[in-house]
Chain A
Amino acid sequence: MSKKTIVNFKLNGASTDVMVEPRELLIHTLRDKLSITGPHIGCETSHCGACTVDIDGASVKSCTVLTVQCEGSELLTIEGFAKGGVLHPLQEGFTQEHGLQCGFCTPGMITRAYRLLQENPSPTEEDIRFWMAGNLCRCTGYQNIVKAIQYAAAKMRGETVTTSHPLMAELSA
């Protein structure tokens, strides 16, 4: 073990101090010490993206970042998305377009998609597939995730949005 240090960062808007060994990985600090269990561990080898968090305007796999590297940073995790009980358009989009099943990849997906939409408010399906390729999902086959992100993008652009799975489509048909 080596000497622990205090690291300070802004986590979902709140100034946070945490005591860690230099070798501690951010995902473990968040999950084990700060009760931020939204980001998940799917591989620990920087392949799956389940651990994605937003650090200083970048989507980052928190299993491959040391907590000490985050001194002075601004961190956003899935826990910081809904504001005052109102879901973020991405959260709404994922539900409306059935962009999740087991939900394990979802926090990482949404966090990553958030940064994508900051950089490109009107992505095409091709753009989304390219820029979301750092997040694995074993359940959905991505097609509805693409739709979910398009839904959110439209909503964030101020357009009217509707689900592509209307409640009664098959019953009224």
Chain B
Amino acid sequence: MIPRPFEYHAPTALPEVIALLGQYGDEAKLLAGGHSLLPMMKLRFAGPGHLIDLRKVAELKGIALVGGEIHIGAMTTENELIFSTLLAKHLPLLAEVARQIADPQVRYKGTLGGDISHGDPGNDHPAVMMAMDATFVLAGAHGERLVKASEFFHGLYDTALTPGEVMTQIRLPLPPAGTGSSYAKLKRKTGDYATAAAAAVVQVKNSVCVQARIALTNVGPTALLAGDAAASLVGKTIDEAAIGHAAALAMKICDPTPDLRGDEAYKTAMAGQMVERALRTAAARCAI
């Protein structure tokens, strides 16, 4: 439970971060809230030679409404998501998911950027980001590039981030009128990762679903976008039959790893159950 030795850097501006990343290459790791990275270092599963702490980098903080988008600094913590009145108004799903992550103390430290960048299929934000069609801003020596959430997650701990890059911001489109969303997570207890979880965002017009996005947590090597399941809803009334059908389609793409939370059959079935739950709640939240 003791990390290996390393050198510590606490840059105060983004260019410094990028310079340090350039200087130390593979040897370096970014430190955000530290609540995924430090546990791995304590178990000696990770042993970076240089740790670059992002906590003093002001550019990575803050939540703002910019045009039709919400921009969230990568270093925004889970509790900041929960307490944000701006988000409560425009993107209540973010607080809903954050409340289901870890426990209060972890949420004071853990950051949105870290949760996404870690590339852990057990983390909850990736699926939500997919369901909300988020875009990530990645900065590096090359400048900035934008990557869609649906393109970002490549595999277990493997993302579109290249060495030398830092995620600076998460951009989320404002949902159109008539949108409802929900995140349903089954876990064994507070502080546990999902046995299975699902994010659903649906838009309803005249009682008919016009848009839907569904994504799943912890039932594959990355969060999974359940495209067929979502497509099956469009043009239909979101009733029990439609929900059941969508859940069945979502279960088809599951490829979970068995562990003490359950075997493949259970986790797959629970992914289906969580899709149902999330859809029911999301549909009920579609005002109009």
Q: Do A and B come into direct contact in the complex, CB within 8 Å?
A: yes
Contacts from A to B (Cβ < 8 Å)? 1-3, 5, 21-23, 25, 44-47, 49, 52, 58-61, 63-66, 68-69, 71, 112, 116, 119, 130-134
B103 in the interface (beta carbon within 8 A): yes
State whether the Cβ of B4 lies closer than 8 Å to any Cβ in chain A. Answer: yes
B39 contacts which of A52, A64, A133 (Cβ < 8 Å)?
A64
A1-B5, A44-B1 known; A22 and B109 CB under 8 Å?
Answer: no
Given contacts A52-B105, A58-B109, A64-B39, 16 further A-B contacts (CB under 8 A): A2-B5, A2-B7, A21-B5, A22-B5, A23-B5, A46-B35, A46-B105, A58-B108, A59-B105, A64-B38, A65-B38, A66-B38, A68-B8, A69-B55, A133-B104, A134-B102
Asked if A71 and B105 make an inter-chain contact with CB atoms under 8 angstroms apart, the answer reads no
Closest to B55 in A: A69
Contact B8 A134 (CB under 8 A): no
Interface pairs A-B: 6 shortest CB-CB: A134-B103, A22-B8, A58-B108, A133-B190, A2-B5, A44-B1
Contact B35 A64 (CB under 8 A): yes
Chain B residues with CB below 8 A from A25, complex form: 2-3, 42
A112 to chain B, nearest CB (A): 7
Q: Please give the residue numbers on chain B whose beta carbons come within 8 Å of chain A beta carbons, in ascending order.
A: 1-8, 10, 31, 34-35, 38-39, 41-42, 51, 53, 55, 79, 83, 99, 102-106, 108-109, 190-191
Selected A-B contacts with CB under 8 Å, 30 pairs? A3-B7, A22-B6, A22-B51, A23-B4, A25-B42, A44-B1, A44-B42, A46-B35, A46-B39, A46-B105, A49-B103, A49-B105, A58-B79, A59-B104, A59-B105, A60-B108, A63-B1, A65-B34, A65-B109, A66-B34, A68-B8, A69-B34, A69-B55, A112-B105, A132-B104, A133-B103, A133-B191, A134-B103, A134-B105, A134-B191
Tell me the minimal C-beta distance from B69 to chain A in angstroms.
28
Set of chain A residues within 8 Å of B39, measured between Cβ atoms: 45-46, 64
B2 touches A45 (CB 8 A): no
Whether the pair A131, B104 counts as a contact (CB closer than 8 A) is yes
Interface on chain B toward A: helix, strand, loop, or mixed SS?
mixed
Do B6 and A2 touch (CB < 8 A)?
yes
CA of A132 to CA of B104 in the docked complex: distance in angstroms?
Answer: 7
A58 vs B103: C-alpha distance when bound (angstroms): 13
Q: B105: which of A44, A45, A60 is its contact (CB, 8 Å)?
A: A60
Q: Give Cα distance in the complex from A63 to B39, angstroms.
A: 9
Closest residue on chain A to residue B190 by CB atoms: A133
Determine whether the beta carbon of B106 is less than 8 Å from that of A61: yes
Contact A59 B108 (CB under 8 A): yes
